[in-house]
Amino acid sequence: MPEEPERPSVKNRKRRFLSILWFVVLVVGIGLILFLVDLLFSLTK
């Protein structure tokens, strides 16, 4: 799909927001996985 022509500042802000969003999702996902693994180990112990 073709991108709409935007001002560079808006594009940069959007890109920065997306990268921050990806970072947050990654951190939350890793934390959740570690929490679940810890829970599994405590249950099987």
Judge whether 15 lies within some domain: yes
Of the candidates 11, 37, 43, which has an alpha carbon nearest to the alpha carbon of residue 29?
37
> How confident is residue 10, by pLDDT bands cut at 50, 70 and 90?
confident
Q: How many domains does the chain have?
A: 1
- The range of the structural domain enclosing residue 29 comes to 8-45
Task: Supply the DSSP symbol for 3.
Answer: P
Judge whether 44 lies within some domain: yes
Judge whether 2 lies within some domain: no
Judge whether 25 lies within some domain: yes
Q: 32 is written with which tokens?
A: 């959740």
How large a percentage of the chain has pLDDT more than 70? 87
pLDDT at residue 9, as a whole number? 82
For residue 6, give every residue at least 6 positions away whose Cβ sits within 8 Å of its Cβ, in sequence order, or none.
14
**pLDDT at 36 > cutoff 90:** yes
Q: What is the spatial distance between Cα 15 and Cα 21, in angstroms, rounded to a whole number? A: 10
Judge whether 21 lies within some domain: yes
Whole-model pTM: value is 0.58
